[in-house]
Each structure stands twice: as structure tokens, then as C-alpha cells.
Amino acid sequence: MTDKNRTEQKIIAGVIGTPIKHSRSPLMHNHWLRAHGLKGTYAAIEVAPDELEPRLAALAAEGLRGVNVTIPHKEAVFALATERDQAAQKIGAVNTVIFRKSGGFLGINTDAPGFAASLQAAAAPWAGGPAMVLGAGGAARGVVYGLIEAGVREIRIVNRTLERAEALARDMGGLGASLIPLPWDKISEQMIDLALLVNATSLGLAGGRPLDLDVTLLAPGALVTDIVYAPLETDLLRAAKRAGHETVDGLGMLIHQARFAFEAWFGILPEANAGLRAALEKDLQK
Ligand code: NAP
């Protein structure tokens, strides 16, 4: 099927947000729709905050299976959802909507299982913990929930604004993990016995402020991961590799959260194959 034929097809799913034109979700989902011979296309749909509710209703009426949700709508869509899964409930944000034929919609969060799935191929025994998560924003909430679900029993949550780390630890309490909020200046002393270090802040993004950490303080064998994927190899990952650590980049989380959303709409868990990853890497270089 040519791309022209595909763009003339009915939209059956999409991603809503603003700005939306740089979203990589259409690349992934259209790849899988093609691979599984499903008719229809996945579109990037610009939606401003003041039109969120009517646009969601209109997309449901047009017959879409559902939509992904990105900046700045994840919390607002959480509030509008008529049903939510436990991940969304705990995280307080929805990244995937499944429209119900009877009206209303289920809001789920696939960032959390997506993050945990991105670590599954790592050889390092990260799930035994302790883990340290840097950040307490929306993405960090998904990361912490994903780690708890994956069985990590001690998670140190470090954030510039300590109150947000405390709130995160409170909100995710009662799930069987010990969650320890810490101020930024405790990173070095709390790093030495980690099995896993995660950057879930926006530090290290291309053109932004760097994340300045001394990774040589980490114990040998600690896994280091960064959910920032532009650049793909962040300064943190480069330094960790140089110090002999196994690393996982942020593209895995992006791909796996999309796989779980696709499964929720179409009942097929698509593959995260090397071809798709290569296409995404090429797209990131644009
Ligand atoms: P967010 O809600 O705005 O949170 C930003 C986080 O970064 C907060 O913890 C913030 O700390 C911290 N931060 C920002 N500037 C800082 C500084 N100068 N020093 C120390 N900490 C600083 O953003 P988000 O939605 O969580 O996203 C975070 C990053 O994750 C983004 O780069 C995003 O691209 C990436 N992400 C990746 C994926 C993926 O699939 N790989 C998915 C989602 C997000 P304060 O609380 O103190 O402000």
C-alpha cells in the first residue's frame, strides 16, 4: 500500500496534543497497522486545551478506537475519563484512551509498563534494587509505578523540588515498595549501592541544561537508563558506558508504551523490531 492510499484511509486512532507535528507515534502505529494488514490510519491530531472535551467526543463519534494523549493533556484527560486502570489512577495521568461504544472512555497509562518493558532485555539484575529515580514530574510518576509493578522494593526518588518527590512517594504508597524522597544534594551519597539509576528529569535534553552526575560513584554492575531520547545517547549514558555500566536509552520506553496502546485498541501486541527502531533513530536525526 502506498503512503498516498494510506492517507486517504479512514483515521482509526491517533495522538492528541499541542504541539503535535513532531510526534513519533504515527511512524510507529502506521508501521504496525501495515505490518498486521489492518485498514485505516493513525494520525497526529492538534488539539488545544480549550477544545479538549468536544474534540474527544467528536473523535469518538467519528469511530476512532482511541487516541494517545501527550503534552499538555495527560492530566486533563485523566479527569475526563469515565473509567481508569490502576496505573492511570496511581499516576494521575492518562496516555491512552479507549473509546467505549456505549459512550465514555477508558483512560489507561502505558508509560509505566512501557518503561519496565524497556529494561527487560538488560542483563544487569536491576529488579533487585535499590533503584534511584531522578525527577518527580509526569514521566517520573510512570517510571516509579512501572518499577513497583516490576517488583523493585526500594526506590529513592530525588527531585530538585523535594515536595514533589514527597507527593509522589505518598501517592504511590501502599503498593509494597519502600519509597524514599530525597533532596538533590543527597544524590552522590545515595548512589553507591544502586542496582538501577534512572534519569526521568528533562535534564540532558538536546539544547537544554545538562545533568551533572559523577557516575564513577556507582557500584559496578549498576544499570543506568535515561528516558530522554533526544539525543539518543545522552551525556549520562555516554559517561555510564565509559565507566563500564550497561545502559538503556529512552527509545525503548517510547516504543513499548506504543505497543501496549496498540494492543489495547486492536488486540494485537506488535513487535518492537530492529527495523522500527532504525526508522525512529533516523527520524530523530531530522
Ligand atoms: P515534567 O513533568 O515537566 O517534569 C520535569 C522534571 O525535570 C521535574 O522533576 C523537574 O524538577 C525536573 N527538572 C527540570 N529542570 C530541572 C533542573 N534544572 N534541575 C533539576 N531538575 C530539573 O516533564 P515530564 O513529562 O516528566 O518529562 C521529563 C522528561 O522525560 C522529558 O525530557 C521527556 O521528553 C521525557 N519523556 C520520555 C518518554 C519516553 O517514552 N522515553 C516519555 C515521557 C517523557 P522540578 O519538579 O523541581 O521542577
Q: Do domains 3-109+253-284 and 113-249 have the same CATH topology?
A: yes
Name 157's bridge partners: 133, 181
Average pLDDT over residues 112-134: 96
Q: Helix or strand or coil: residue 152?
A: coil
- Percentage of residues of the chain with pLDDT beyond 90: 95
Whole-number average pLDDT of the chain: 95
Q: In 10 A of CB 263, how many CB atoms?
A: 15
Does domain 113-249 match CATH 1.10.3720.10? no
**Distance in angstroms (rounded) separating the CA atoms of residues 215 and 241:** 10
Q: What is the pLDDT of residue 3?
A: 52
**Distance in angstroms (rounded) separating the CA atoms of residues 105 and 77:** 10
Report the 3 state secondary structure along 239-263: HHHHCCCCEECCHHHHHHHHHHHHH
Q: In 10 A of CB 265, how many CB atoms?
A: 21
Report the 3 state secondary structure along 74-123: HHHHHHHCCEECHHHHHHCCCCEEEECCCCCEEEECCHHHHHHHHHCCCC
Q: Find the Cα–Cα–Cα–Cα dihedral 22, 26, 27, 30, rounded to 10°.
A: -170
Q: What is the pLDDT of residue 285?
A: 87
Contact (CB, 8 A) for 155 and 179: yes
Under the banding of pLDDT at 50, 70 and 90, the label for residue 286 is confident
- For the chain, helix (H) and strand (E) counts, in that order, are 12, 12
Cell digits of residue 155: 526506590
Under the banding of pLDDT at 50, 70 and 90, the label for residue 148 is very high
- Of 5, 20, 137, nearest to 69 by C-alpha is 20
Average pLDDT over residues 154-182: 97
Nearest CA to ligand 1 atom 6: 201
Residue 255 has pLDDT above 90, yes or no: yes
The better pLDDT of the pair 4, 257 is held by 257
Which CATH number among 3.40.50.10860, 3.90.226.10, 3.40.50.300, 3.30.9.10 corresponds to the domain 3-109+253-284? 3.40.50.10860
Angle at which helices 274-284 and 25-35 cross, to 10°: 150
In tens, the pLDDT along 45-54 reads 999 999 999 9
CB within 6 Å of ligand 1 — which residues?
A: 111, 135-140, 159-161, 164, 200-203, 205, 209, 227-229, 250, 253-254, 257
Q: What is the pLDDT of residue 167?
A: 97
In tens, the pLDDT along 10-61 reads 999 999 999 999 999 999 999 999 999 999 999 999 999 999 999 999 999 9
**Distance in angstroms (rounded) separating the CA atoms of residues 50 and 226:** 33
In tens, the pLDDT along 220-249 reads 999 999 999 999 999 999 999 999 999 999
Which of 160, 166, 277 best tests ligand 1's pocket when mutated (most atoms within 8 Å of CB)? 160
Residue 176 has pLDDT above 90, yes or no: yes
Q: What is the pLDDT of residue 129?
A: 84
Q: What is the pLDDT of residue 172?
A: 95
The domain spans of the chain are: 3-109+253-284, 113-249
Average pLDDT over residues 97-105: 96
Q: Can 21 be counted among the known catalytic residues?
A: no
- Of 252, 253, 212, nearest to 235 by C-alpha is 212
Q: What is the pLDDT of residue 9?
A: 87
Atom of ligand 1 nearest to the CA of 161: 47
Q: What is the pLDDT of residue 4?
A: 52
**Distance in angstroms (rounded) separating the CA atoms of residues 201 and 218:** 19
Pick the catalytic residue from 4, 10, 74, 282: 74
